[in-house]
Amino acid sequence: MEQNLDVNDLFPASYKTLNGIKWGFINNRGQFVIYPQYEDVSEFQMNGLAIVWLQGHVGIIDQHGRFVVPPIYNSIYPFSEGHSIVYEEDKGYKVIDETGKILTGQTYSFTYFGDFHEHRLVFQDFVNRKEFLYGYLDSNGEIVIPAQFKYAHDFQDGQAIVGLKDGTSALIGLNGERLRIYPYEQMGDLSEGLISFRKTDQDKSGYVNEEGKVVIPPGYSSAMPFENGRAIVNTSENYKNQYGLIDKTGAFIIPPKYDDINLIGENRASVAKAIDPEYPHTGSVFAIADTTTGNFLTDFIYDSVSDYQGEYGSVTKDVKTFFINKKGTRAQNLPIFNGTGSVSLKGDLIQAIVDERYSYYDLNGNLVWTQNMIFPLTGPIHIREEKYRPNKNYLVYYPKIQGMENKLAQSKVNQYLRNKSRVKDLPKDGPLYSSYSGNFSVQFFQKHLLVLELTGYEYPFGAAHGMPSKINVHINLITGQIYQLKDLFTTGSHYKQVLSEIIGKEIHQHQDSFINEDQYIGIKENHPFFLTKDHLVIYFKPYEIASFAFGFPEFGIPYQDIQHLINEKGAFWQSFH
């Protein structure tokens, strides 16, 4: 018998397996209603549909797990006004409705899509392969206003602000008719009758009304749209922010001296102060302020603040996450959670996305569901997921093997895994200038050989990006031996030279690829690698032979191509054959 389900009755939940994390949906009792089978999922939208990833492609399911849109696409956008954008490789973008019906008579190669507002959707196109320009689609996916603008905002009440190619801006109607021209190169979105503007990119920002009359003179390095009569502005002249909050006359409700301000709903704002004013990128602490009066409701005591959802918001402090009420103080009737992240009410459940994991609790803080921490390998041998969280900026999930007959070997293996996972003594307090997160997965498991992949990401505060890392560990579950690349080959086989030549030849044959042939100098003795059922895979670190954007370049070499080098009687080969 089919269940009558409400969109709020189903919640994303994951299950860790030897083949990676699988996602499904649970009910409010923690029972899987839609079996965990997807690589990833979105939450169910208000139309009762959810986007899911299966076998490297994307589809859409209903609340019974039935595919409304089969998993044939490379990406799918969330629905807005009953429509979504789907992308299929080598075919382009199309607009679909909630039944999965394709509405567009053609596909598009656009480079950006917004959401539907008033049956209009902003898109960006690389026109004549010369410049990026913006236009609008209608709800049938047809081009109603061709790409012609330097920028374009969403429609509100039948009007939108766009940038013209002559360096001015315009207010347009739903069919592109120009209702008003403004002598400004940059303008913000329509916001409660006021629009932020810059004369040129180099000028300060101010606000005009829809008639183009200056209401608040230019004086800001940045100016955000108005919400409930308030707008966030920045008066900074350098890298040290000076955010404040103004009313519609330009009077400051909160003075411009803070590292950041965010409107978080319910007439509240989170206000940030740099921990170290000389080095603001090292992080901030937050206070809660009333946007009506500008009064501060709390001191600067929180490490992060999430938006209010009705009566409650969510904050972190040190390594705790909890709800706050409208006074900005902890909601005493709701539980505290260990770790950092966010919590929200989902009907009669609490959804906690804390320490990079989903879990669900009842309103008293009793656990209803969380991802499994133990998963079996063979016989009594299994892996247990352990967590190391010494401070708010350092989080590592690392594997602990249990059930090996040789306990001494098991202990040595687990100590090795802790070290390689970067579990180390760190201070609980004091300034930190980077963050680190680590995780692991099973790369390959066959017979007695377990291949674990330990991944990490370190981000120096203020840097353009962080640096990813990965280490593959090959473990014999009987002996506890940890194998290196050289252990796969017979002594004196010159495997380094042979593998280097194979990889070098592949790079040379694909000179138009992302690999920089001049940077390649061959492999090292114990070069990073991992094994699969049929291949030896050699990989390189970011920047080693390619740009950062291409991650870890990999080269798969079939065993049959190097069979003459492999020590088939050796412990490494025998561990999985």
In this predicted model, what pLDDT tens digit does every residue of 99-157 receive, in sequence order?
999 999 889 999 999 999 999 999 999 998 899 999 999 999 999 999 999 999 999 99
What string of DSSP letters covers 293-311? T--BSS-S-BSEEEEEETT
Mean pLDDT of 34-52: 97
The count of other CB atoms within 10 Å of the CB of residue 305 is: 24
Virtual CA dihedral for 474, 477, 480, 486, nearest 10 degrees?
-30
Looking at the predicted structure, is the pLDDT value of residue 212 above 70? yes
Q: Which amino acid is at 75?
A: S
The b-or-e profile of 130-154 (16+ CB within 10 A means b, else e) is: eeebbbbbbbebebbbebbbbbbbb
Instruction: Flag whether 151 is in a domain.
Output: no
- The mean-pLDDT minimum among 21-25, 87-91, 513-517 falls in 513-517
The pLDDT of residue 82 is 96
CA 24 to chain centre: 19
Taking Cα atoms as reference points, which of 366, 363, 368, 471 lies closest to residue 422?
A: 471
What string of DSSP letters covers 494-562? -HHHHHHHHHHHHHHHTTTSS--GGG-----TT--EEE-SSEEEEE--TTTSS-GGG-S-EEEEEGGGS
Instruction: Flag whether 143 is in a domain.
Output: no
pLDDT in tens, 261-307: 999 999 999 999 998 887 777 789 999 999 999 999 999 999 999 99
pLDDT in tens, 407-423: 999 999 999 999 999 99
Structure tokens at 120: 């209009």
Residue whose entry in the numeric block shows the structure tokens 């049929």: 534
Instruction: Flag whether 13 is in a domain.
Output: no
The pLDDT of residue 515 is 81
pLDDT in tens, 49-85: 999 999 999 999 999 999 999 999 999 999 999 999 9
Mean pLDDT of the chain, nearest integer: 94
Better-scored residue on pLDDT, 549 or 119: 119
The number of domains in the chain is 1
The pLDDT of residue 1 is 29
pLDDT in tens, 551-573: 999 999 999 999 999 999 999 99
pLDDT in tens, 23-33: 999 999 999 99
Q: Can you give the pTM of this predicted structure?
A: 0.90
Q: Which domain holds residue 544?
A: 374-574
The pLDDT of residue 2 is 37
Looking at the predicted structure, is the pLDDT value of residue 4 above 70? no
Looking at the predicted structure, is the pLDDT value of residue 5 above 70? no
Contacts of 468 (CB under 8 A, 6+ apart): 455, 456, 457, 542, 551, 552
The pLDDT of residue 431 is 56
Structure tokens at 190: 């329509």
What string of DSSP letters covers 335-352? -EEESSEEEEEETTEEEE
The pLDDT of residue 508 is 87
Instruction: Flag whether 254 is in a domain.
Output: no
Instruction: Flag whether 461 is in a domain.
Output: yes
User: How far is it, in rounded angstroms, from Cα 183 to Cα 375?
Assistant: 64
The pLDDT of residue 512 is 61
CATH number for position 402: 3.30.565.40
Instruction: Flag whether 53 is in a domain.
Output: no
Instruction: Flag whether 498 is in a domain.
Output: yes
Q: Sorting pLDDT into bands at 50, 70 and 90, what band is 3? A: very low
Instruction: Flag whether 298 is in a domain.
Output: no
Given strand 67-73, what is the order of strands in its sheet? 40-41, 50-54, 57-61, 67-73
pLDDT in tens, 431-475: 567 899 999 999 999 999 999 999 999 998 878 889 999 999 999
Looking at the predicted structure, is the pLDDT value of residue 430 above 60? no
Q: Which amino acid is at 270?
A: S
Contacts of 424 (CB under 8 A, 6+ apart): none
